[in-house]
A = this chain, B = another copy of it.
Amino acid sequence: MSTIELTRRYQFSASHRLHAQQLSAEENRRIYGKCNNPMGHGHNYWLEVTVSGPVDPQTGRAISPSMLDRLVEATILRELAYSNLNEVVEHFAFQPPTTENLALVIQQRLLERWPQWFSGEIRLVRIRLEETRRNIIESEP
């Protein structure tokens, strides 16, 4: 059986403020610039989730795309869409909500549920998070 990769793309709009609690106000401004503005700002994030698996000869698919959509909806989009990331994501009470950290949070959430949703042959290959057309983060488990 041939193995392929399937990528699904999702968009969500959220706001955030880049601020590290362990750093002084001056350091925060120096490191994050205008992204440290007290009231925050926001983005239309494009999330790509890539999975791999063998193509089932009967259905011609490695994975049900609607199941992946449901998992992403349940664990990511329901909470993050139209949200303030600093507020709704528990991890961001302690860590700055950079795109880097957001990608790792999303990856972690998907990995935790993965064994319940998909068989062992289906692997989470990559998370890609596009904050703007010029700033993109990728993470591999």
The complex is assembled from copies of this chain, and their number is: 6
Most buried by B among A14, A39, A43: A39
Residues of chain B lying within 8 A (CB to CB) of residue A5: 137-139
The A interface is mostly helix, strand or loop, or mixed, namely mixed
Residue A71 CB within 8 A of the other chain: no
Most buried by B among A10, A59, A86, A97: A59
Interface residues on A, range: 35 or more
Picked from B4, B31, B61, B82, the residue with its CB within 8 Å of the CB of A37 is B82
Contact with B along A29-56 (1 / 0, CB 8 A): 0010111010111111000001000010
Contact B8 A134 (CB under 8 A): yes
